[in-house]
Amino acid sequence: MPNDYWDMDDKNDPNLLNLASVSTSMLVPFPVGKLPDASVLWLNERWFHDLGMAIHDAPTRARISASLLERFAVTSIEAHCVAGTFGGQTLGADRYGGSGGAIHGGSGRCGSDGMLIAKGTGPTPLVSEAHDWSHSHGCLYLYDAIREAVASEILNAELPHGTVPIVAIIDAGFSLARTDADEPERCAILIRPAFLRLAHFERSLYFGTSGSANSDQFQDSLRVKDAIHFADEHTQRDAGNPNDLGVDLSALYLRLAEQIAASRAHRLWTGRPTSDNITSNAQFLDFGGFRAVPTWKRGTDGHRHFFGDEMRDVRHSLPSLAYFFKKYSRFDKAIANIDQLLIQIEHHMEAAFLHHCAEACALPESSPEVFHFKAIIAHYYREQQRIDYALDQPTKHDERHDWLSDHIRGKASYGSPVGEEIAALLRELPNAHLHLCAANRWLRPRPRLSYRVSKRRAIKLVRSILADRSSGPERVSAFIATEVAVSRRVWKGLPPHWLVLGYASDHVSTALYFFDTHRMAYTVQLEGPRVRGGTLIFGAEVADETLGITNSGHRTVALVDCEPNSYLVGLSLNGRASIPTALLTFPDAAVAAQTFNSTTTHAT
């Protein structure tokens, strides 16, 4: 993405999605007006730096903030607007449908300029007459925007195909109460880059008018046809690029299976994977219902959404999309046997799930024990899925010690023989400490990501910053960075011989402290964005020679040897940068590292 994107001078850049270019029937314009007291509360510095934009530079940051406020500090609720501004600007609500139809016409509270999508800009013309309260006002609570930002960053880091990023949060400057008896809560506007939902390729059959060329139903049918033609063009143009805008349904659903498998293995649940919550390259989006679940049991959120039941929605959406692609695609995109493909998807999902479980326990595919490990993990998962429970509800005390991690730590008060078998297998492996520490890290609960806890913490933050708005941006930035860092458990591509000791991050830079069991050395992996020929490491610009690397990409990764206690006290890079202590630590790994180190020293 070019820097002058923010000046709106490069709308036709081929690497950017402009929703208006998908179809002339895609965006439904609606009037908005200026919000009098809005301000930029958070910018996703990681995302901007990954695009090569120097967001740490004050003039660049100010320019981006001003651009976002000019374009999206608006609402369709005239009562909240600056007097005389309503109707002076328009945004577009994107049409989309759903598997089996939809009562809405598309986005009910999102406005777009084509290239960015703002969530929380008030009700749009696509809200159904049968709407519920949450869609009637078109607003987004600030605490929910903060929760979504945390969820998006964690999922993007830990899932194989990432998520739609949240690039900014605007404090809308007004509050909204659910009922007269409730305390008003602050509202926000959440900014994302434009994306194509799978539901953009499906009809909205039950919304709006019909019977004329300008009717909702006719325009909706044009939108579906145009969207599929748009995907056809990109499939032909960008063949072989899995992140392009083309759509190969078979490949797409196998990618989705990998996403679901990883989220299942790591117990990061976004809710039902319906076609409106999945992009055309299998990324997840919309995280209002996100939570980390404590086990693999068949938990429900009370809305008939069940953890582990994701194939139900896959079976529903794939035939729907296949129908529309067969009808409108210029190519032969008919799936020969949908039932056979669904079987393949389910098998692929299970295989990917077991792969992520083995990888999380530092068991590579080449390990002779991996086949047996996967077999008993599959048995344990099926056993867990036979237990239903309500998420976010108190449980009996003895039921809190029946998870796999309790078996591995020898603290299970109730559980299954299969859980004990998994624990025994890990204890009997060569270098058992390495595998046990990896398993304990992976299975360790993420309490701050439970729905109730994350919501309570975000509400507390919002109420505190309203008392001192001048400190809001710094406090929200620190909060999101901290919540993400302390909730991490999995690092994609982590070598199996690394014992992770701790992790620190300011959201732009990261430090992963570990003990390398091959080199028998304490090391820290530093990562940060490239700036002016160097690297930004925890607020300091560090020259390449200091890190001992030569890297021309947007991000630098460097390994630096350190002391055994560096993760507890931090370290200095030749006086050029200070690496902080770990926000997240793994004490059992530190003990195991000492054992490895002392054994090697004694042998020498």
Q: What is the mean pLDDT of residues 344-362?
A: 98
Do the Cβ atoms of 419 and 401 come closer than 8 Å? Answer: no
Domain boundaries of the chain, sorted by first residue: 3-214+225-236, 497-603
Which of 188, 193, 197 has the alpha carbon at shortest distance from 284? 197
**In this structure, what are the phi and psi dihedrals at residue 237, rounded to the nearest 5 degrees?**
-75, -40
- Helices and strands: H and E segment counts in the chain: 18, 22
Mean pLDDT, the chain, whole residue set: 92
- Would you say 462 and 142 are in contact if contact means Cβ atoms under 8 Å apart? yes
Predicted confidence band of residue 601 (pLDDT cuts 50, 70, 90): low
Beta strands at 185-193 and 116-119: parallel, antiparallel or unpaired: antiparallel
Report the distance separating Cα 248 and Cα 325, nearest Å. Answer: 10
Would the pLDDT of 13 be above 70?
no
pLDDT the model gives residue 5:
53
Give DSSP secondary structure letters for 1-62.
--GGGGGT--TT-TTS--HHHH-TTSEEEEEEEE-TT-EEEEE-HHHHHHTT--TTSHHHHH
Asked if pLDDT for residue 397 goes beyond 90, the answer is no
Torsion-angle region of 139 (φ positive above 0: left; ψ -120 to 50: alpha; else: beta): beta
Task: Report which of 36, 30, 136 is spatially closest to residue 76, judged by C-alpha positions.
Answer: 30
Question: Which pLDDT does position 3 carry in this prediction?
Answer: 40
The secondary structure of residue 278, as a DSSP letter, is B
3-state secondary structure of 197: strand
Q: What is the pLDDT of residues 90-120, one digit of tens each?
A: 999 999 999 988 899 999 999 999 999 999 9
For the stretch 28-83, pLDDT in tens is 999 999 999 999 999 999 999 988 888 999 999 999 999 999 999 999 999 999 99
Report H helices in 415-519. Answer: 417-428, 432-443, 451-466, 472-486
Q: How many residues does the chain have?
A: 604
What interhelical angle do 417-428 and 370-385 show, nearest 10? 160
pTM of the complete model beyond 0.85: yes
Q: Which of 153, 140, 144 is nearest to 72 (CA)?
A: 140
